[in-house]
Every structure is written in structure tokens, then in C-alpha cells.
């Protein structure tokens, strides 16, 4: 064995670890101080993310976001309201690999089953209490009643929910390691897709009658 063989192996290990860390990141690393997202259709350079505003036109307000000072309405079938704080709502987040939502739940309200394909999620309860849970790829359900000041983490891409188990309104801030984590609602994706998933496929998948599928679809059609 040559004397430089151990160092070659060490170099290989370091390279593999660096590559693994890079591949596991939700968003690419920025290559400049900031890249405030420009309005759609404005052109301009695009470092990983959306096109940048010219730095000469960036102002302090581009790094400020006030929409979370008030919550979204919970006067709906789910009893929930989500105020997004991703790069589409908060342009200063562009290329920074982070975003934050506000989740408001009426008593008995639920932020229904959904997943975020591009980010893990940290749920921090500010007011009230929520049952927060997710299902792993092995079909195991993990959950916890999370109270004011407590947090629960949801791994990237896994189906999860928040449900208000208290007698009063609840509020949480949810933080993501992506500027645009994306969201896929289970019911809407399966029963409200356009074009529709065939009734026969869903009936077979859920082992129910096709008439039940038609009923569920009628409740998930857009508009």
C-alpha cells in the first residue's frame, strides 16, 4: 500500500460527504448577498430562484413582511386559515432557502392532510393547542398535542395535518427550509385533479363503490 493511499481515501470520504450535504439541501446556496424577487415577467438575472430586482432599486421594505400580523379567515368548511409567507408573498426571501406561514384554526378546525414536496416543516404553536401528526413511508403515524410555546417537526414530503383540539382558537407559525416549499392537499389532489382521475382507479384503490368516489369528488371540485 502506498503512503498516499490513506490520504486519497480521506479525500474521497470528504468529497462524498460534501456531495451528500449538497444534495440534501432544500434550496441551492445563494451566490450573492441577496436577490429580491422581481415581479413576474420583468426579466433580469435569475440566481437559483426567481429573477432578481436590480440592486439599485432594492429598498428596506423588500426585506419586511407584515401579513402575519393578522390571520386568515377560519369561516370555512375546514375551520382553518393559512397566511403564506413564501417568496411569492415575500420577495426578500428569494434564494435564502427559508419561508414562514401563519396557521389559524377555529375550535375543531383542521389544516387538512397535505405534504410539502420541497421542505421540512417546523410547527411552533403560539396560541392554544393543536394535534400535529404525520405518516412515515412505513405507514407509521407520529403525533403530539402541541401547546403554546411548543414545537413539532415534520420531515420533508410526508403527509401531515394540524387539528385544533382545544376549546378556543389556536395559532401556529410554520417554518420551512425552502423559499417555496410547495403544497399538495391529499383530498384535492386525489378527488379534485384536472383532468379527473378515473372513478374506477380511485374506487379500486380505496376499495369502495364508485358512487362514493363521485360523492367525494363533488365536494372537492374547484369553483
Least confident of 8-17, 74-83, 114-123, 168-177: 8-17
Least confident of 10-19, 90-99, 132-141, 196-205: 10-19
Annotated binding site for Mn(2+): 114, 116, 121, 160
Q: Give the integer Cα–Cα distance in Å for 116 and 156.
A: 6
Instruction: Report the predicted TM-score, pTM, of the whole model to 2 decimal places.
Output: 0.82
pLDDT, averaged across the chain: 88
Annotated binding site: 101, 111, 114, 116, 121, 160
Alpha-carbon 140 to chain mean position: 20
State the DSSP H helix or E strand holding residue 219, giving kind and residue range, or none if neither.
Answer: helix 210-220
Q: For 131-181, how does the pLDDT look when each residue is reduced to its tens digit (9 = 90+)?
A: 999 999 999 999 999 999 999 999 999 999 999 999 999 999 999 999 999
Q: For 29-40, how does the pLDDT look when each residue is reduced to its tens digit (9 = 90+)?
A: 667 789 899 877
Annotated binding site for oxalate: 101, 111, 116, 121
Amino acid at each position: 500500500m502506498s503512503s498516499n493511499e490513506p490520504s486519497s481515501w480521506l479525500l474521497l470520504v470528504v468529497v462524498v460527504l460534501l456531495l451528500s450535504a449538497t444534495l440534501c439541501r432544500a434550496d441551492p446556496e445563494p451566490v450573492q448577498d441577496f436577490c429580491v424577487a422581481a415581479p413576474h415577467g420583468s426579466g433580469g438575472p435569475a440566481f437559483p430562484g426567481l429573477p432578481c430586482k436590480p440592486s439599485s432599486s432594492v429598498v428596506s421594505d423588500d426585506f419586511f413582511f407584515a401579513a402575519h400580523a393578522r390571520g386568515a379567515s377560519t369561516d370555512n368548511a375546514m375551520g382553518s386559515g393559512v397566511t403564506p409567507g413564501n417568496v411569492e408573498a415575500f420577495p426578500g426571501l428569494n434564494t435564502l432557502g427559508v419561508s414562514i406561514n401563519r396557521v389559524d384554526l377555529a375550535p375543531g378546525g383542521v389544516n387538512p392532510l397535505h405534504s410539502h414536496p420541497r421542505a421540512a416543516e417546523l410547527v411552533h404553536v403560539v396560541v392554544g393547542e393543536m394535534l400535529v401528526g404525520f405518516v412515515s413511508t412505513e405507514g407509521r403515524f407520529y403525533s403530539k398535542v402541541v401547546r403554546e410555546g411548543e414545537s413539532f417537526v415534520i420531515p420533508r414530503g410526508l403527509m401531515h395535518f394540524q387539528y385544533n383540539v382545544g376549546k378556543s382558537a389556536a395559532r401556529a407559525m410554520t417554518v420551512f427550509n425552502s423559499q417555496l416549499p410547495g403544497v399538495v392537499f391529499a383530498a384535492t389532489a386525489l378527488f379534485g385533479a384536472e383532468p379527473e382521475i378515473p372513478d374506477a382507479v380511485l374506487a379500486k384503490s380505496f376499495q369502495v363503490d364508485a358512487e362514493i368516489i363521485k360523492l367525494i369528488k363533488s365536494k372537492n371540485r374547484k369553483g
